[in-house]
Amino acid sequence: MAEQIVKTEYSEVMQKSYIDYSMSVITARALPDARDGLKPVQRRVLYAMDQLGLNYDKPHRKSARIVGDTMGKYHPHGDSSIYETLVVLSQDFKKGMALVDGHGNFGSIEGDGAAAMRYTEAKLKKFTQDVYLADLDKNVVDFVPNFDETEKEPAVLPVRVPNLLVNGADGIAVGMTTNIPTHNLGEVVDAVCAYMDNEDITTKELMQYCIGPDFPTGGIVINKSELEQIYETGNGKIKLRGKVEFEPAAKRSERDKLVITEIPYTMIGANIGKFLNDVYSLVETKKTSDIVDISNQSSKAGIRIVIELKKGADAQNLCNLLYKKTRLEDTFGVNMLAVANGKPETMGLVSVIRHNVQFQYELATRKYTTLLKKEQDKCEIQEGLIKACDVIDLIIEILRGSKNIKQAKKCLITGETEGIKFKSKLSEKTASMLHFSERQATAILEMRLYKLIGLEIEALMTEHEETLKNIARYEEILGSRSAMAKVIIRELKALKKEFAHPRLTVIENGK
């Protein structure tokens, strides 16, 4: 075949290639999906752990094994990014609800790195199993081929709460970024339920339930009046302060102290060390003479940064200076950008919840359709067995008179009696009127003789009644949007009762 050379502008080729690359980064790497609130690498790590059977009630497994499975089966982009994702998913000071139960050194709030993956171990949390991975076996989401088409992976996880709000998100794509704060699980569930009761609800009305961000580090949001505009547009700046407590001297030999017990979310990591250096600088440059000493006494129990004051120091004035000159007061830039219907979209609070609720209805529809089909198949078999019990002598006669199982099965399905030896013409005539389905006939032929005991038949009848009730319930749920909404809301409230925790961040209009 002769070569065919296509002439085109070099600039056009570059432009098209760059756009393709950009969209790939945006949709398949850096930005979370609006439905499950996860980036592809997070979704793949959690799915790989689920496939490894790392349930919350099972032993931890080496992180290296989890990373290896994720990289080899679903995410061929290097082990360091996968392990970093696993580490962050386990850090309760970064996530509103940590999704991984880490065992070993998984880093600290002060920016210490995690130990190498060969030393640490991990497994799923119960919250993750119940809220993020449940019902995967009920055809609730589509599965797509992996990178080399040797495995299947879920296109999205069946997350039952707006993870985009609960755990927030951050990411840098090409020409765009996302930065979504974490929120309180209980408040988010209440907001979703309120939206499902009234889909015309406004941002202001939703904020009666979800009053603002809830950071795992606590702290104080001081621009409450601006939050409505931020949640309306999906953009803005949240002003954060650490929580400072005054501890008067207990003895004459001691000094008064300012104790920082909660820090702004933006201070986690190396910024704690930077804050300490900034305080030293204030003393060295003589911008304050009220500080005698500063020490970081933080531990696993929580943050405790102690500033010792000289006698007669104005604690409130010093506190205001720290807010002004250090990162004890900081801003969190909100940009609620996520991938919705294959495109990046900046969303307000209502929009995030709307996308999630639509996803919940889709999950519920697929789940109960699968369950209904399963119950209908079970009902068909049960009806066949009940019917077979009434003519069991005839069926035994057919089996004894047949040359092979194929002949007997054909007789049960079509009433074909040719070649089968019967004791009487009446039996042959009755057999010719049999009309079991393929599935029923198979179940009858596989039925064991002890099933003919009276109590077993009674149990079969009871089971059949339960199956009919399930079918009626599933049909009601699938036939009515309001009935489905009630089921979703009931399940959400149960999740809130089991997993929600009190709010950590105070929201007010500060001075």
Annotated catalytic sites, by residue? 119
Contact indicator for 308, 292 with CB cutoff of 8 Å = yes
Q: Which residues touch 134 (CB under 8 Å, ≥6 apart)?
A: 158, 160
d(CA 205, CA 35): 23
Q: Dihedral, CA atoms, 68, 70, 75, 80, nearest 10 degrees? A: -50
Q: Checking phi first, is residue 330 left (phi over 0); if not, alpha (psi -120 to 50) or beta?
A: beta
335 bridge partner residues: 179, 235
Name the token pair of 43: 């979704």
Q: How far is CA 125 from CA 1, 106, 118, 334, in A?
A: 59, 15, 21, 28
Q: How far is CA 383 from CA 370, 392, 394, 395, in A?
A: 20, 14, 17, 16
Q: How far is CA 104 from CA 101, 242, 298, in A?
A: 10, 28, 19
286-298 in b/e form (b: 16+ CB < 10 A) is: eebebbeebeeeb
